[in-house]
Amino acid sequence: MSGLVGQLVALLGVVIGGVMSYLVGALAERNRWRREEATRWDGSLLQAYSDYGHAVRECAHYYQRLAAHRGLTDHPAPLAPADDVLEKAAAAESRRSAMVEPISLLSNAETAEAVREVNLCIWHLEWLARGQLAGDQASWAAAFSAYRTARAEYYRSARRSLRIAEMGALREVPWPPPWSVA
82 is a domain residue: yes
36 is a domain residue: no
84 is a domain residue: yes
In the chain, what percentage of residues exceed pLDDT 70?
A: 86
Total domains in the chain come to 1
* pLDDT value of position 169: 54
Amino acid letter at 162? L
Taking the C-alpha atoms of residue 43 and residue 38, their distance in angstroms, rounded to an integer, is 9
- pLDDT > 90? residue 36: no
In the chain, what percentage of residues exceed pLDDT 90?
A: 45
21 is a domain residue: no
66 is a domain residue: yes
59 is a domain residue: yes
Q: What are the residue ranges of helices labelled H in the chain?
A: 2-69, 83-106, 109-130, 137-161
49 is a domain residue: yes
Taking the C-alpha atoms of residue 138 and residue 3, their distance in angstroms, rounded to an integer, is 95
Mean residue pLDDT across the chain: 85
6 is a domain residue: no
For 121, residues 6+ apart whose C-beta sits below 8 A from its C-beta are 143, 146, 147, 150, 151
* pLDDT value of position 55: 95
Range of the domain at 46: 42-180
